[in-house]
Structure 1
Amino acid sequence: MTKVAEVVEQKSDAPLHGVQSGRVEKRYSESHDGQAKVRIKKAKYAMLLAYQGKNYFGMQIQKGHPTIEGQLISAMHKLGWISEQMKEQPSLFHFQRAARTDRAVSAVRQICGMELPQRDDYAVIGVNELNALLPEDIRVISMRRATNLFHPQKKCCARTYSYTLPTFAFAKPTELTNASFRIKKDTIDEINHLLSIYKGTHNFFNYTSKREFDDRSCFRYILSFECGEPFLFHDDVRNEDVEFIQLTVKGQSFILHQIRKMVGMVIAVVRELQYKSYIQRTFESDRVDVPKAPGLGLLLERVHYDVYDRKHEKTHEPLTDWGPEVEARVEEVKFELITKEILISELRHQSMLQWLADLVRHDFCTDPDAEEVPKRTFLTMAAGKADEAAKAAEVVKEVKEGNVPSSEDGVEQEPQECGATVDVSSCTDTIKKEIQEDNATVQSGQTTEDAKSMNATS
Structure 2
Amino acid sequence: MSTTNNDTPAVAAAPAAPPSRKPPTDSTEQQSQQQSASHRDGRSGRGGRGQGASRGRGVNTNGKRNKNMGRNEYNRHQDDNGRKRPRTDWKPLEGVDDADREERKPKRKVAVMISYCGSGYKGMQLNPPFKSIEGDLFEAFVQAGAISRANSDDPKKSSFVRCARTDKGVHAAGNVVSLKLIVEDPEIVPKINAALPEQIRVWDIIRTTGSFSCYQLCDSRKYEYLVPSHVFLPPHPGSFLAKACLKYAKQEDDLEGYLSRQKEVEDWWTTVNDKVIQQLGDEARPVIEKVMAEEEKPVDKQEDTEPNEAIEGEKDGEKDGEDSLARKVREIYMQEKRAYRISPERLERVREAFRQFVGTNNYYNFTIDKTFKDPSAKRHIRSFEVNDPFVISSTEWLSIHVHGQSFMMHQIRKMVGLAMMVVRSGCVPSRITEAFGPRKIAVGKAPALGLLLEHPLFTHYNEKISKGFDREPLDFEKYKDDIDAFKQKFIYSKIYDQEERENTFTAFVQYLDCYRSPTYLYLTSAGFKVLDEAAAKSGGKLPAPKEEPDNESDEETMIGTEEG
CA distance in 1 between partners of 2:504 and 2:125 (Å) = 25
CA contact (8 A) 1:203 1:220 kept: yes
* 2:108 equivalent to 1:43: yes
**Are 1:227 and 2:382 an aligned pair?**
no
Match of 2:206 in 1: 144
Match of 2:224 in 1: 162
Match of 2:508, as an amino acid?
W
* Residue of structure 1 in register with 2:481 after alignment: 328
Taking structure 1 as reference, are residues 193 and 301 closer, same or farther at Cα in structure 2, changes over 3 Å only?
same
**Structure 2 residue 188 is matched with structure 1 residue 126:** yes
2:145 to 67, 80, 90: 80
% same residue: 33
**Equivalent runs, 1:301-320 vs 2, <5 Å:** 301-314=454-467, 315-319=470-474
What is the rounded CA distance, in whole Å, between the counterparts of 1:78 and 1:167 in structure 2?
Answer: 44
Amino acid of the structure 1 residue aligned with 2:173: V
Q: Report the counterpart of residue 120 of structure 2 in structure 1.
A: 55
State the partner residue of 1:361: 514
Which portions of structure 1, spanning 4 or more consecutive aligned residues, are displaced by more than 3 angstroms? Answer: 10-16, 29-34, 36-39
Q: Distance in 1 between matches of 2:8 and 2:417?
A: 78
Decide which of 449, 468, 482 is 1:296's aligned counterpart: 449
Deviation for aligned residue 1:328: 1.2
Task: Please give the per-residue CA displacement for 1:364-423, whole angstroms capped at 9, x wherever unaligned.
Answer: 2679xxxx96299xxxxxxxxxxxxxxxxxxxxxxxxxxxxxxxxxxxxxxxxxxxxxxx
**Structural mapping, 1:167-186, within 5 Å:** 167-172=229-234, 174=266, 175-176=268-269, 178-186=337-345
The CA deviation at 1:38 is: 6.2
Q: Which runs of 5+ in 1 are unaligned?
A: 1-7, 17-22, 24-28, 235-240, 377-458
Gap change, CA 1:204 and 1:322, over 3 Å in 2: closer
TM-score by length of 1: 0.69
- Of 286, 300, 318, the match for 2:439: 286
Higher relative contact order (CA 8 A, sep 6+): 2
Local SS of the residue matching 1:53: coil
Q: Secondary structure at the match of 2:462?
A: helix
Q: Give the one of 139, 147, 154 matched to 1:89.
A: 154
Paired residues for 1:390-429 under 5 Å = none
Indicate the structure with greater strand content: 1
- Cα distance in 2 for partners of 1:162, 1:104 equals 14
| Distance in 1, Cα, partners of 2:230 & 2:487 | 24
| Partner AA of 2:193 in structure 1 | N
Q: TM-score, normalised by structure 2?
A: 0.57
User: Considering only aligned residues, what root-mean-square deviation do their CA atoms show, in Å?
Assistant: 3.2
SS at match of 2:396: strand
| CA drift at 1:13 | 8.5
Q: Distance in 2 between matches of 1:95 and 1:374?
A: 41
Question: Does the 8 A contact of 1:196 with 1:224 survive in 2?
Answer: yes
Q: Which amino acid aligns with 1:257?
A: H
| Change in 2 beyond 3 A, CA 1:166/1:13 | closer
How many residue pairs are counted as aligned between the two chains? 347
Matches within 5 A, 1:144-293: 144-172=206-234, 174=266, 175-176=268-269, 178-234=337-393, 241-272=394-425, 274-293=427-446
Per-residue deviation, 1:312? 3.1
Specify the alignment match of 2:255 in structure 1.
none
Find the aligned partners of 1:104 and 1:158 in 2 and give their Cα distance: 22
Amino acid at match of 2:230: F
Question: 2: CA distance between counterparts of 1:82 and 1:268?
Answer: 48
Contact kept? 1:204, 1:283, Cα under 8 Å = yes
Give yes or no for the alignment of 1:69 onto 2:134: yes
